Amino acid sequence: MNLQGASSSVIVTFLLYIAIVIGIGVRSNIKMSKSKADNFMEDFYTGGRGMGTLVVVFMLAAGLCSAGTFIGSPGMAYKVGLVFVLACMAQSFMNFVVLGEVGTKVGIISRRISANSAQDILNYRYNKNKVFRWVSSIAICIFYTANIVAQLSGGTRLVVVMTGLSYTTALLIFGIVIVLYTAFGGIKGVTNAIIFQGITMTAAIVILFVTLLSKIAPMESAYANIIAQEPTLASPWAWRPEYTFSMFVSLGLVTIGQPHSMMSSLMYKNTKGMHKAMFIGAIVVSVWTAAIVWAGNLGRALLPNLEAPDYIIPALAVELMPGWVAGLVLAGVAAAIQSTIASVMMVISSTLVNDMYLVVAPTKDSKKIKLVTIVATLLAGIVPIVLAFNPPEALQFFILYAIGGLTSSFFWPILLGLYWKRANEQGAIAGLIGGMLAFIGAQGKYIPNFGMHGIVVGIVVSGILTIGVTLITPKPPRRIIEVFWGKHKVEA
């Protein structure tokens, strides 16, 4: 099937979506320009810590559900079968995992120390250790830049096949829009856009899935067709159990190991809103994941010989829907990817400013800090756009590699730093570096991975090193314990 240049109405619908997002960015920039210079960084990165439930829901859900969920995962379900649908459902409760495990604690601590990022909290917790600061900052910049490159590549390919635009033109349109509304609107620009994007992607997914179900009905005949092509496509045993388990770990159980997942915990207005966001977010992500990933598997019944599995969703949209509705699907998937890129850009920007620039060239000049913040955010988006001109081939595996590297590095330093008083900087450094190297070694098969994704090996090694090194090195300073476990009341 030839998707190229599917319909002019697809282009019109997509451009309308882009125009709305740009309008949101302009409005957010006007608001940010009124922010007092002394409060600029807090407003830019946390929105003044006054975000409501819906913002927290979509900031977390859309920030973690990206090209992997909306393009790569349906492609994997098309190629591998229902086993990947099963594995992917592990992410359904990411709002519970993140907000339930660390939400309240992060909200309290961020207000106590005026933290603008997860990295600020970790640096304070680990005694502002220079080695930890620089190693963690480098890990964030490398793995998150790789993640953005993959996201940009996936989103651009989607635009190309559904509109007929060249890869370069689509990349520039797709990427520059994100860079502009993020760099000049800050987190308010991101959150204002993310509500619109969240509603758009939800509508697109539901419309596509319902239309697909009506087209392939009855389900029994559809799966008889799929099984005739390849029996393992409907089997939960296409992968060995240990590998399926490792994918559950990677996609769901250790989500807090991705620093950008904690952004929503820095922003919520109060714990009541956060708790609502946990439940609403679980419903939203469950609907997104089940519908879009399962659609990739069900698509085999209609399009059994698709050459590029990653294009199953745009192929279904073009096959099943009028042009404007296909354009809505394109906008919905693009919204998911842009939301993730924007939230990750904020993490990189904060790291570049707080953990690199201000460490090397400290200043209290609020105007200079404002300028540096905007420039850092622009760099966080422009560098990946340049790198994306030479895109990676395997989108989902590239994204999983970036996620695995981050999670193997940060999971234990984050979790133990928040809940174990004994945790110290020496243990955190050992866990961060050891987990990162173990993950890279296991994925590259330089060390045994025991038939699992390398993230499991990375996390196990990181946990052993974090705890082991901590127990043989000095306790953290009392002042840190007082801030993280003190009795004084702080509104969260």
pLDDT at 421: 94
Residue 70 DSSP class: I
Q: Over the stretch 443-470, which tens digit does the pLDDT of each residue have? A: 888 888 888 888 899 999 999 999 999 9
- Greater confidence, 26 or 421? 421
Q: Over the stretch 130-189, which tens digit does the pLDDT of each residue have? A: 999 999 999 888 888 888 888 888 888 778 877 777 889 889 988 888 888 777 766 666
Reference 328, options 12, 65, 14; nearest CA is 14
Reference 63, options 203, 187, 248; nearest CA is 187
Helices (H), 420-472: 425-443, 454-471
pLDDT at 270: 77
409 membership: H or E segment, kind and range: helix 395-419
| pLDDT score of 394 more than 60 | no
Identify the three-state secondary structure at position 51: strand
pLDDT at 429: 96
Q: What is the mean pLDDT of residues 481-485?
A: 92
Q: Please, what is the Cα angle at 329 between 299 and 45, to 5 degrees?
A: 125
Reference 360, options 46, 82, 137, 160; nearest CA is 137
Q: In this prediction, what percent of the chain has a pLDDT beyond 70?
A: 88
pLDDT at 347: 86
| pLDDT score of 491 more than 60 | no
| pLDDT score of 5 more than 50 | no
Identify the three-state secondary structure at position 423: coil
| pLDDT score of 490 more than 50 | no
Reference 324, options 168, 192, 207, 461; nearest CA is 207
Report pTM: 0.83
- Is the distance from CB of 353 to CB of 369 less than 8 angstroms? yes
Q: Quick one: 210 exposed, middle or buried, by C-beta within 10 A (0-12, 13-18, 19+)? A: exposed
For 19-23, 296-300, 384-388, 444-448, which range has the lowest pLDDT when averaged over its residues?
A: 19-23
pLDDT at 39: 60
For the chain, give the number of residues.
492
- Greater confidence, 492 or 142? 142
Helices (H), 217-235: 219-229
Q: Over the stretch 109-122, which tens digit does the pLDDT of each residue have? A: 988 888 888 888 99
pLDDT at 92: 82
CA Rg value for the chain = 22
Helices (H), 230-365: 241-248, 263-267, 271-298, 312-320, 323-350, 358-360
Q: Over the stretch 27-52, which tens digit does the pLDDT of each residue have? A: 766 666 655 555 666 666 665 566 77
Q: Please, what is the Cα angle at 17 between 15 and 23, to 5 degrees?
A: 100
pLDDT at 90: 85
| pLDDT score of 212 more than 80 | yes
What tokens does 72 get?
């790569």
Strand partners, 51: 268
Question: CA dist 476 to 137, 407, 479, 483, Å?
Answer: 21, 24, 9, 12
What tokens does 405 get?
């590297």
Q: Please, what is the Cα angle at 396 between 394 and 400, to 5 degrees?
A: 115
Reference 52, options 257, 261, 194, 205; nearest CA is 194
Query: 417: which residues sit within 8 A by CB, 6+ positions away?
Result: 121, 122, 125, 126, 423, 428
What tokens does 475 get?
């306790």
Under the banding of pLDDT at 50, 70 and 90, the label for residue 397 is low
| Identity of the amino acid at 289 | T
Q: What is the mean pLDDT of residues 203-232?
A: 90
What tokens does 355 get?
């953990």
Q: Over the stretch 302-356, which tens digit does the pLDDT of each residue have? A: 998 887 788 888 888 888 877 777 787 777 777 778 778 888 888 898 888 888 8
Q: In this prediction, what percent of the chain has a pLDDT beyond 90?
A: 24
pLDDT at 42: 63
| pLDDT score of 386 more than 50 | yes
pLDDT at 43: 62
pLDDT at 392: 63
Mean pLDDT of the chain: 83
